[in-house]
Amino acid sequence: RLRLHDGKLIKDRRYHLRTYPNCFVAKELTDWLIDHKEAPDRETGIRLMQKLMDHYIIHHVCDEHSDYKDAKLLYRFRKDDGTFPLSKDVKVFMRGQSLYEKLVSMEESILKVREENSVKYQRTFLGCEMIDWLVQEGEAENRKEAVELGRALLEHGIIQHISNRHHFFDSDILYQFWINFRRRCRLTELLNENSSRTLSESPDSPFCLRKLNPDPGNTSFLSVQTNKEIKIVSAVRRSSITSLAGNSNPYFSTTPTLVFPPVAECNPKSVLKRPVTNEELLSPGAPYVKKTLTIVGDAVGWGFVVRGGRPCHIQAVDPGGPAAAAGMKVCQFVFSVNGMYVLHLDYQTISSLIMTGPRTLVMEVMESIE
């Protein structure tokens, strides 16, 4: 949305003696998606925009069309006319993004890389540190409100205890932002979204365990400042968006820019035909062979999804990604990551190990010889 404003694709347009503010022409936007490599072809571009319509992100300016047509029709982002539905989930997400941006932009941020049990975690903070900061910055009136805010963020998958064992408390327990709001993402990821997926099931993109700190220049989907906003033209619309947000809950702000949460190709059904235990994998004469894979990550990641726990397995492999080129296959079990034995760990911990490790990933996997 912000990139389209910058590129002047979104602007006031006149049609049949009436001016429609902050709108775009569908056909021009489809051209833009292809030119900026956000869609490989017109069909994909149409599907992407339809996805935004289905999620009440954009709509026809007169609501005369319920689907997105690649034609000279005018559409508008609902956030530009105050009709975006601010549900509790959206409010919590926007609130989490606002706090994250504020924290990462501080010189002495409480967000740090910390190590626990020989595992390094990104974007971490102590619960009591977060409470202190929220109260000091006026984000919460008192410690009780700050704890409630932290719990709301955790319940919506925005933060979590590093081993996912505790709720949010005013203590020296270590937490981390589970969503990296500055992660580089592509619009095409929306087409892989599973509507039944909960936010906490996976923090990463389809087929990719992404590095938490990508190379400079690829740090965000947006090419403008993250806090940049476009002024809503109508005063009536401005008041309507405030009323939608409501004033009953002091935690949630309507000011941050909404960016889509990271979405993942997350098949809720395991690719394994049956559960396999560590004892079965390691028993003498078991029908499994161990292989060592060296995977050199590219600009976006390594190209696979790991799921399950104790042991974890490979759920999906991008056929065009680095992992596939190294010989990775679905249903393999993860034995070690960069020399660390991981059969006893869950997929979230293994994901953290991979994302905080070097670009060249050395994995030992166990594969069935049946």
What's the mean pLDDT when you consider all of the chain?
A: 78
State how far the Cα of 136 lies from the Cα of 171, in Å rounded to an integer. 17
CA neighbours closer than 13 Å in the CB half-sphere of residue 146: 21
Which residue has 């190590």 as its token pair? 115
- Predicted local distance difference test score (pLDDT) of residue 206: 34
pLDDT (tens digit per residue) in 105-140? 888 899 999 988 888 888 899 999 999 999 999 999
Q: Per DSSP, what are the bridge partners of residue 293?
A: 363
CATH fold label, 88-177: Arc Repressor Mutant, subunit A (1.10.10)
- Predicted local distance difference test score (pLDDT) of residue 44: 92
**SS3 assignment, position 51:** helix
Q: Report how far apart the first and last C-alpha atoms of the chain are (Å, whole number).
A: 51
CA neighbours closer than 13 Å in the CB half-sphere of residue 294: 1
Q: How far is CA 296 from the centre of its chain?
A: 23
Exposure pattern of 239-248 as b/e (b: 16+ CB <10 Å)?
ebbeebbeee
Q: Per DSSP, what are the bridge partners of residue 336?
A: 341, 364
Going by pLDDT thresholds of 50, 70 and 90, the confidence category of residue 223 is very low
Sequence-distant (≥ 6) Cβ neighbours of residue 249 within 8 angstroms = 91
CATH fold label, 1-77: Arc Repressor Mutant, subunit A (1.10.10)
Q: What percent of the chain has pLDDT over 70?
A: 79
- Predicted local distance difference test score (pLDDT) of residue 193: 56
Enter the DSSP assignment of 309. Answer: B
- For the cut 50, the answer to whether the pLDDT of residue 207 exceeds it is no
CATH 3.40.50.1100 fits 278-368, yes or no: no
Sequence-distant (≥ 6) Cβ neighbours of residue 356 within 8 angstroms = 113, 119, 120, 121, 122, 212
Q: CATH 1.10.10.10 spans which residues of the chain? A: 1-77, 88-177
State how far the Cα of 119 lies from the Cα of 36, in Å rounded to an integer. 39
What are the backbone dihedrals phi and psi of residue 99, each rounded to the nearest 5 degrees, phi first? Answer: -65, -40
Whether 317 and 328 have beta carbons less than 8 Å apart is answered as yes
